[in-house]
Structure 1
Amino acid sequence: MSWLTVQSLTIEYREHLLGTGLGKPRFSWTLDSDRRGTMQRAYRLQLAAEGGSFDSPLWDTGRVESDESLHIVYGGPALASRTGYRVRVKVWDNFEAESEWSAEAKLETALFSPEEWQARWITPDDKDIPADAKPAFLLRRSFEVASPVVSARIYATAAGVYEIYLNGAKVSDDLLAPGWTSYRHRLQYQTYDVTDALKTGGNGIGIMLGDGWYRGGLGFDGRNYMYGDCRAALLQLHIRHEDGTESVVSTDDSWRAALGPVLYSNIYHGETYDARLEQAGWCEYGFDDSSWSGVRLPDLPYDRLVAQENWPTRVTETIRPIGQWVTPAGDRILDMGQNMVGRVRMAVQAPAGTRITLRHAEVLDKDGNIYFGNLRPARQTVEYIAKGGGVESYAPHFTFQGFRYVKVEGFPGQENGLPLDAFVGEVIHSDMPPAGQFSCSDDRVNRLQRNIQWGQRGNFLDVPTDCPQRDERLGWTGDAQVFIRTALFNYNGAPFFTKWLRDVKAEQHEDGGIPFVVPDIVGGANSAAWGDAAVICPWHVYQYYGDRRLLAEQYESMKRWVEYIRAQGDNEYLWNTGFHFGDWLALDAKENSYTGATPKELVATAFYAYSTRLLRDAADALGYAEDSNRYSELLERITEAYRSEFMTPTGRMAAPTQTAHVLTLMFGLADDAVKARVAEDLNNLIVENDYHLTTGFVGTPYLCLTLSEHGYHTTAVRLLLQDSYPGWLYSVSKGATTIWEHWDSIKPDGSFWSDDMNSFNHYSYGAVGDWMYRKVAGLDMDGSSPAFKRIRIEPLFGSTLLDRAEASYRSMYGFVKSGWTVNGSRIEVSAAIPANTTAVIVLKGASAAGVTESGSALSGGAAGVKSFRETSDGLEIEVGSGEYRFAYESPGLFRQSYSDRTRLSEALMDGRAVEVLKRHAPQLLDGAAVHIAKPLSFKQIAENGMLRVSRETVDRILKELSEAEALA
């Protein structure tokens, strides 16, 4: 008997949405079925009040004939603030099966307007406690609960960072709330369910309040940026009683204030905690606060408050140190085994007053000593002063560190070694659900993939930061846009980027310009490839999640950025004025320059075209026909101007750099007639550089993708597998566990790139992941159908360098997978396609007669296979949902016939084929042999293991050789 179920139902990407400010939330679900080719035909959604019945729901769509299952907008009566609701859905499929009702998802609204805030902002009275006091503030009060409680919610935020305690316990595992937004425009508040923490009778509530991003002093070069001159807290507790009444406890002038045991806390520098200053029971009922100070009510705004949008920041994993030792310099250190972001929790038993110091760093120097140079002024130091009397456990409250190694001073008995079980690393970042996985036959690449994921985790701590260790940790727009596709594959980043993009829009200048960093504490703006994040990021969020609401919300910001560019240049179709970072950190830069050799005006105009293209596509997606026509015409003009300024009519680039060729191809700026020439020149630049790149932040993300899409996939794979400098596996060979800022952050001799800017956790170059997932594993989507509604499985396995790869992704429609293995000439391709989607699967080098699916001949008609057709590259198969396994033999895809080998061998022996092979099949030559003038024997090539190349390529090589002979 067949079955159909609703696998999951989410509200704004969450199964349970507590505390939303949205009056019209959206609902999405995934389906599961035991039948291939399952599509949704209809759905029925119901919403009921939390205590109500679905027999009389507040909203019932009835049966809706539609295959839509993403972002269905609530269409019932207006939702009330501070109210809970339940949602469920059922579906019908194309086989006329009807599912049961789904498991219920829960939705609870927060405060819909500033007028609903009864609470007042509070801060200690500065007559007793200075506003700039370094210790964290403690704020408290006691209150009575007169009758039994059925529900209780706290709505809270801070100018600073805060933790709430109720009756002696922290109310949530959230950290560093309310997070970092553009505080001048937006400040998140959080909702906490504290029903079980309250008791009838006396209760005590407390807030611990630190500086955080608000007034901790942000920025580099001594900027010390602060948003305000004092910390403040805002809290409102609503209690609903069994008798139907409600009571409210709010921050007001009745609260009391004191300084706490956190003597100092700072995002960059760390925390000092004196456990001797703890006040037992400070957040409990009956605590004597008569010696505490009063509070004052600062005039802070309410109209900037928005309900929590991002995933909360939490401890997501704990790791134990793998070793400890004394360095040559005499320092006792811990090795966590992983460059991580978070904090160390330690357990210690020591006499009162014992001071233990932890200094955090990412790497060791070539002599084996702990290296602090790249931290710049950031101290990353935690100090704990013991109270004595038993085992004490401590982890910092209001800071985080980027580190692998910890220098420990003052731990009791450390001269005899550190007890490893006394320390644990707590990994902290925005608690994004994992989404994608990738693996292949080369363990070094698998390590690279883990490094990419760890780099994302370390830098997605409420904002997409550039680095998590030095005095920076800022939301650089350029870094975010180059990495966003990789980021959205690895983790569900929809709420994360929704929150950040609203800050981008809020920080946009009146003239349409975009700051270098968001939230903006630097002041610079408008560099190409950085400001373009305002267009690129919303578009890719839409691509991954089909989020039309966010795209529409950001559309005017996208448009204003393109119009800003249009107003800049001497020619409205070229961007040749203003400051630009260019191809930042490219290896073809001049001595003592951070900017690569690719002309900045070329980079700027290329991104001008790219943003215009995406803006046009966004207009199409949103149905803005007039804008679509307008920006299509603008794109044509920019493209014409680009070709005239930066290309010859025959396809030569004015700037002979790898990045210039990459951007031209990636952004569709080369005419069809010369595209092959540009791609060939790019490939030659790589080959002539011994299969090494020279690209920086701008060119690197697209390099391998461009090569693969223009017929040079083997070159791209060789770049990936390059383990000498510069290359992705060079850092892996040096023991990296995250992505480095520089290709040579640690040089071959063990020395370091300059201390000035040398992060060992900097995700930008991890953008290669997008190509690994899409081209190596072959898991992609049809760009005209976002969110993997229509999937494309097209692995490019025509290289001997890898013989297995697999990628899987938890899409909005469900689990998607593409995997392949090659054993000799036998190829197997597996795919998983979720219900309510379709896919095109491309089998390179296959013919319909030679393919089996799950052991049966494809030509015999396999369930779920809609159609197939042979192409010049192989076989294209259209399928519905289900799991598939294709197998076939394709000797022609990987090796030449004996006669072909003989002819190539003869050509190589007299040197005629070397130049031709460089262009068409560089994988037949190893990196060193490319530059050897003497003839090569085919035996040498065979020994290098580079025999696999398509028959079409061999034919092309031999044809070109024959034509050359004829001309001679």
Structure 2
Amino acid sequence: MSELINFRTEYQQRPLAVQSRTPHFSWQYEKSFKGEQTSYRIRVATSEKLLYEGSEDMWDSGEVRSAASVGVQYGGRPLCSHSRYFVCCETTDGEGNRYRSQIASFETALYEKSDWKGQWVSVPVNFNGGTLLFRKAIALKDKKIARARAYICGLGYHEFFVNGRKMGNAVLNPGVTEYGERVFYCAYEMEDLAAGKNVIGVEVGYGWLGARKLLAQIYVEYEDGEVYEDHSGPGYGWWVGGSPTVDNSVYGGEVYDARIEDKYPKNWNTLAFEPTWANGWMYTIAAAAPNGELAAQEIEPIEVCARFPEVSRTDMGGGVYIVDVGKNIAGWLKISVRGERCASVTLKFGEQLTNEGYVNQLNLRSARCSDTYILKGDGVEEFAPRFTYHGFRYVQAEIAGKAELLSCVGEHVHTAAPLIGDFSCSDKTLNALHEIAVRTEQNNQHSILTDCPQRDERFGWLNDLGSRIYQTMYNVDMSRFIPKFIRDITHTQTAEGGIGDTAPYYTGGVPADPVCVIYPLLADYAYRYYGDRATAAAEYASIRKWVEYLLSRSQNYIMEYSYYGDWVTPFADVRADNLYVSSLYLLWHLKEMRRLAVIVGNAEDEAQYGDHAERCAAALHEKYFDEKTFDYCGGTQTENALALSLGIVPEAFRSRVAENIYRDAVGRGHHCTSGNIGYRHVFYVLAEYGYADEVVNILKNPAYPGWGYMMENDATSVWERWEAEMQNEMHSFNHPMFGSYDAFLYRYLGGIDVAEDAFACDKIRIAPVFTRLVDHVSASMKTVRGEIVSKWKRENGRISVHIEVPPQTSAEICLGKNIYRVGGGSYDYAV
């Protein structure tokens, strides 16, 4: 019997806290699988033994005649809170061959409010300005432990310890949410427990909540079925103290005073340390609970995902050194230092240097963005902050007193969602542009999709995301991220249907700019890429309410308001009309609403929004088209591209409108004139109408303004603005809104496209554009069904093409005029 691979529950392997009471399962086949699945059978039990015996006590789906291998929903007995279940899957193909998964497990969340027995705890507000150390000793029996779990909500950020060892690799936990609506707790597997006394510890910093409080629940299950349970609350044996981290904030940074480790030593969370009133510890006091409902955190945690050792260090004199880690990253600097007691090292972070060679912090605005370590004077000491993060390439290390900086390493910190895409080609500039797009995307995934990681912002700006999401879907597995972030958007919604410009809502307007089409797009993509129907169903009513709100702010489908439009255009004399842009995005919303109606099976809405979309397109064409010039509105690249991309141009005029875009780009010296909204449409439209070479010219163009200019000026991440020098406070050099050129590389040079009506990438199209400016391309993308690969190479006047299609997938391969329709497998062609 062959093996199924990558069996997952709710897109996770061995999850510890599944929030759904009816979770979904998925699995994959090896690349060698050439057939079609004809049936599946899923069995779920409370023990592995029951599965082995064929005595599953929770669910036996029976043999289901179906090709489904993604999004198969649990249909057994009701699942219980805080429980572990075991699951396996068997399938057959058309030839009667059988396949089986390894036995997997999943654990459920705390479903009910009543499951939480403890109370929120903290300290008096004037106790301490740094992080808080919570600890408790628990006594366990001398019996074998079957399962030990901790459910911890330490706000704003926390880290969890057992007997002195940190559990897991997460940092900056839990993820930021709309705290008035939802608060995440984290499930931990407790290791290193022993018979007798054990110490559990939680360190808590301010994070985004701006408060420090703890809710904790501990379960230890012995093999004989007995359960030890413990929870937080005043008078329950929890002690709390200050810490050597005497100051911490997201924007400000950290101050760590190693001199007070005598009072709050590094072994504070072990039996070797005894907290007392005399040494500065106290009992916890009751704290007010956040308003939001508790929910299990199911997105990937934020982690240290890569390390960048310093590439240079410049002595500026007077104890000041400039450290360059080589790349513009989000995270922090880990240092090792040696020196006398009371000496200090202050680290100031920035993305560029001044003309004098010091770190330039102009674009940080009010954010201090510095960390300070005060030495205790005991040999080699190491420091890295844990309750803040910075966006930087350069660090100004200022040493006060007698100390020596031994080493510096930039630690790259972001949500640990797996990378799924890869792109390379024969052109070095395009390869470098791909690299910085990926890095910038990762730099701006911190449990929300942020705009930048360095200044006093770092918000989930929705207007950027309608362009940005295209490269995101090629590069990063968003299966767990999308449901979380789209719910953040829903939580910003007003009674009238408006949503916030940012999610969670921190700034911007309410209602949001009409360009915020990311709201329905995310639900569509959850289904299209990952087979997630539940997200579309859960958010459908709220998305519909937003679309109806936009309709209410329009007259004959022309929008009445706009804020940002095509933001940050590169030429002062070119700007798309804001209301035109808003109106085209109304059309896009209507089309997406029809698509979501199809997904959730609402035939009435499908017809209604399909009709709205047709009438909207006709109204926009009638109002804005100039039959003499074949332009829309003012004839900018953005305005014409939106008209083509969103489908308001009659067939007879399409090639002329596309030609206008091309001629304008060439006339501008191979430059795109669009801002953050329009450029993605311009690139796609040019490629669709035979001008892919011009997109490559635009991307490689080393002259200001553009992406090639970024590369000419040593960019290691994508910029917010077009100037190479930091000219004002609104000039981030780590901004993903202009990074979706990377989607052009995948979709057109690599040719990889997921069909609009796909379910979990079951329908794909591979149509590489053999631009004369590139000699070879290699592109790949891992999907929930397996990996798509598209490679081509030009040699001796011929082009060789290699395509790999995952099992359970149908593909249309377009090579020039030749079209091949294939299933899963490996294919080679000559063109």
TM-score of the two chains, using structure 1 as the length reference: 0.82
Task: Give distance in 2, aligned partners of 1:726 and 1:795.
Answer: 28
Q: Which residue of 2 aligns with 1:899?
A: none
Deviation at 1:106, TM superposition (A): 1.7
**Aligned equivalents of 1:554 and 1:639: distance in 2?**
26
After superposition, the Cα gap between the structure-2 partners of 1:369 and 1:193, relative to the gap in structure 1 and judged at 3 Å, is same
Shift of 1:474: 0.6
Change (3 A) 1:782 1:448: same
Indicate if the aligned counterparts of 1:39 and 1:837 stay in contact, CA closer than 8 A.
no
Q: CA deviation at 1:169?
A: 2.0
Structure-1 residue corresponding to 2:793: 821
CA gap of 1:302–1:78, structure 2 versus 1, over 3 A, is farther
The SS at the match of 1:53 is helix
Match of 1:136 among 126, 131, 140: 131
1:300-330 per-position Cα deviation (integer Å, ceiling 9, x unaligned): 1576100112111111112211111135999
Which stretch has the larger CA shift, 608-617 or 834-843?
834-843
Task: Return the alpha-carbon distance in structure 2 between the equivalents of residues 166 and 493 of structure 1.
Answer: 31
* Aligned equivalent of 2:244: 261
- Give, as a single letter, the amino acid of the residue that structure 1 aligns with 2:163: N
Structure 1 residue 578, shift from structure 2 partner: 2.7
CA contact (8 A) 2:526 2:533 kept: no
Instruction: Tell me, in whole angstroms, the C-alpha distance in 1 between the residues paired with 2:376 and 2:451.
Output: 38
Deviations 1:440-466 (A, max 9, x none): 110111111110110011100111000
Q: CA deviation at 1:367?
A: 5.1
Q: Which residue identity does 2:567 align to in structure 1?
A: W
Which SS does the other structure have where 2:289 is aligned? coil
- Find the counterpart in structure 1 of residue 221 from structure 2: 240
- Pair 1:274–1:816, CA change in 2 (3 A): same
CA distance in 2, matches of 1:780, 1:694: 26
Aligned match for 2:828, one of 873, 882, 885: 885
- For the structure 1 residues 301 and 692, does the alpha-carbon distance in structure 2 shift closer, same or farther, using more than 3 Å as the test? closer
**Equivalent of residue 274 in structure 2, options 263, 287, 292:** 287
The Cα of 1:137 is off from its aligned counterpart by 1.6
Which one is further off, 252-261 or 436-445? Answer: 252-261
Aligned to 1:757, the other structure's residue is in SS state coil
Q: Secondary structure at the match of 2:480?
A: helix
Contact between 1:328 and 1:367, CA under 8 Å: does it hold in 2?
A: no
SS at match of 1:67: coil
Question: Larger strand proportion, structure 1 or 2?
Answer: 2
Distance 2:609 2:112 in 1: 38
Pick closer, same or farther for the CA change 1:523–1:802 going to 2, 3 Å. closer
SS at match of 2:566: coil
Superposition CA RMSD, Å? 1.9
Corresponding position: 1:157 with 2:156: no
**Structure 1 counterpart of 2:353:** 364
Cα distance change, pair 235–265 in 1 and its aligned pair in 2 (3 A): same
Assess if the C-alpha contact under 8 Å between 2:154 and 2:202 holds in 1. no
In structure 2, relative to structure 1, the CA distance for the partners of 1:79 and 1:385 (3 Å cut) is same
Once residues 242 and 74 of structure 2 are traced to their aligned partners in structure 1, the CA distance between those partners, rounded to angstroms, is 47
Q: CA deviation at 1:33?
A: 5.1
Taking the aligned partners of 1:384 and 1:329, their CA distance within structure 2 comes to 18
User: Is residue 624 of structure 1 aligned with residue 605 of structure 2?
Assistant: no
Q: Tell me if 1:770 matches 2:743.
A: yes
User: TM (normalized to structure 2)?
Assistant: 0.95
C-alpha change, 1:301 and 1:366, in structure 2 (3 Å) is closer
> What is the aligned partner in structure 2 of residue 599 from structure 1?
577
1:41 is aligned to: 38
Q: Residue by residue, what CA displacement relative to the aligned partner does 1:729-766 show, whole Å, maximum 9, x if unpaired?
A: 2111111111111122x1xxxx43x3221111101111
Would the alpha carbon gap of residues 741 and 731 (structure 1) be closer, same or farther in structure 2, given more than 3 Å must change? same
Further displaced range: 559-568 or 278-287: 278-287
The CA distance in 1 between the partners of 2:423 and 2:472, in whole Å, is: 13
- Post-superposition Cα deviations, 1:867-901, rounded to whole Å, max 9, x if no partner, equal xxxxxxx211111211111113xxxxxxxxxxxxx
1:636 and 2:614 matched: yes
User: Which residue in the other structure is 2:721 paired with?
Assistant: 742
Moved more, 381-390 or 301-310: 301-310
Structure 2 residue 297 is matched with structure 1 residue 308: yes
Pick from 416, 437, 446: which aligns with 1:452? 437
Equivalence map 1:510-549=2 (5 Å): 510-522=495-507, 524-549=509-534
Superposition pairs for residues 574-589 of structure 1, below 5 Å?
A: 574-575=558-559, 577-589=560-572
2:748 and 2:768 in contact (8 A); partners too: yes
2:663 to 684, 708, 720: 684
Give structure 1 stretches of 5+ with no counterpart.
Answer: 216-229, 591-595, 845-873, 889-968
Bigger radius of gyration: 1
1:832–1:883 Cα contact (<8 Å) kept: yes
C-alpha offsets along residues 797-836 of structure 1, whole Å, 9 cap, x if unaligned? 1x32111112101101101111111124201111001111
Matched residue, 1:116: 115
Give the partner amino acid of 1:306: A
Other-structure match for 2:204: 209
Residues paired across the two proteins, number: 818
Point out where structure 2 has 5 or more consecutive residues left out of the alignment.
none
- Find the aligned partners of 2:81 and 2:783 in 1 and give their Cα distance: 31
The SS at the match of 2:282 is coil
Judging changes above 3 Å, is the alpha-carbon distance between structure 1 residues 139 and 830 closer, same or farther for their aligned structure 2 residues?
Answer: same
Q: 2:246 is matched by which residue type in structure 1?
A: L
Q: Equivalent residues in 2 for 1:558-569 (5 A)?
A: 558-569=543-554
Map Cα deviations across residues 423-453 of structure 1 (whole Å, 9 max, x no partner): 2222111110111111111011111111011
| Structure 2 SS opposite 1:829 | strand
Mark the CA change 1:329 to 1:776 in structure 2 (over 3 Å): closer, same or farther.
farther
Partner residue in 2 for 1:900: none
- Three-state SS of the structure 2 residue aligned to 1:663 is helix
Q: 1:791 to 1:211 in 2, by over 3 A?
A: same
Other-structure match for 1:180: 176
Q: Which residue number corresponds to residue 70 of structure 2? A: 70
1:198 maps onto 2:193 in alignment: yes
CA spacing shift, 1:822–1:329, aligned 2, 3 Å: farther
Partner residue of 2:306 out of 317, 338, 358: 317
3-state SS in 2 of match to 1:464: coil
Matches within 5 A, 1:338-353: 338-353=327-342
Identical pairs, percent: 31
Aligned mate of 2:773, from 792, 801, 809: 801
2:739 alignment partner, SS class: helix
* Cα distance between partner residues in 2 of 1:67 and 1:656: 48
